[in-house]
Amino acid sequence: MSSTELELPTLGYGAANVGNLFRELSDDEAWAVLEAAWDSGIRYYDTAPHYGLGLSEKRLGAFLQTKPRDEFVLSTKAGRLLRPNPDHDGGLDTDNDFHVPDDLRRVWDFSEAGIRASIAESQERLGIERIDLLYLHDPERHDLDLALAEAFPALETVRDEGLVGAIGVGSMVSDALTRSVREADLNLIMVAGRYTLLEQPAAAEVLPACAERETGIVAASVFNSGLLAQSEPRRDGRYEYGQLPEELWERLVRIAAICKDHDVPLPAAAIQFPLQSGVVRSVVVGGSRPAQLRQNAEYAALQIPADLWAQLADEGLIPA
């Protein structure tokens, strides 16, 4: 399935932070973040019911309702329905890193009825009817075989009906992404943290499968949990929610040194690296402060010399 029918801007905003990921934002703070993204020229916005138990969709939708609908691309996700949590006792959803009341719970549902319900509920939270792109969210965390048997055919059906413009899958597991591309008829996939300046496991099978099937890629989590978000790496940085292995630390230090030699900020190289591949259509970055959004947009527009990529490839740090 060709992804060219949906024109994706090369830089997008991943709206998990306005769902209170890691820390609470007021409505005004969230609005300021989204305003900074828009004013910086960002015109692709990605959200999910999972992000803040619907809060991200509500805040993003309220903001985007003030903008001309044809001027932005909107994606959300399906696979988990939000239902009342009978065990809610005033606590927060911090087990999932979201600082919101856990009065709702996530319920996996890969049936066609579940996918349709997810779309309708996202439309209601967003206050926006047209969803340009719908991803199946982390299907391997539930049942990838069931997703291939039920959820992806359902996505294809709602796309054929025009209920959504394009369909895909979002995951941080390369095997799940590869199977999904090969066994379903997808427009795009969101690759989270598996094709970054620091490490590229998706280059082995995911990218070739996408090239073969003409499936586009949206690269997310390109800062590797923040490791690439500053020009001077920190040894105590987190990696996959744990300690950074020594081998990756040495790799990170070398990449940072090469960027410095070429007068390129490490985060700028991190944002632009995935786009060096012909199958990557867009890079989605998050951010919980307006200054971060403005800075990321500047990094995305920075001219990076070809010599930087050549040296990184020569030293085996990125694919040739």
Q: How many helices (H) and strands (E) does the chain have?
A: 11, 12
Q: Whose structure tokens read 């094709």?
A: 195
CB 170 within 8 A of CB 11: no
Residues pairing with 131 in the sheet: 164
CA distance linking residue 243 with residue 264, whole number of Å: 27
CB 265 within 8 A of CB 302: yes
How far are the Cα atoms of 45, 68, 73, 226 from residue 55, in angstroms, in the given order?
Answer: 15, 22, 19, 23
State the virtual CA torsion across 288, 127, 164, 193 in degrees, nearest 10: 10
The CA-based diameter of the chain, rounded to the nearest angstrom, is: 58
Helix (H, G, I), strand (E, B) or coil at 297: helix
DSSP annotation string for 66-83: TS-GGG-EEEEEESEEEE
Candidate list 51, 135, 195, 239, residue with the active-site label? 51
Q: Is 51 a catalytic residue?
A: yes
Active site residues: 51
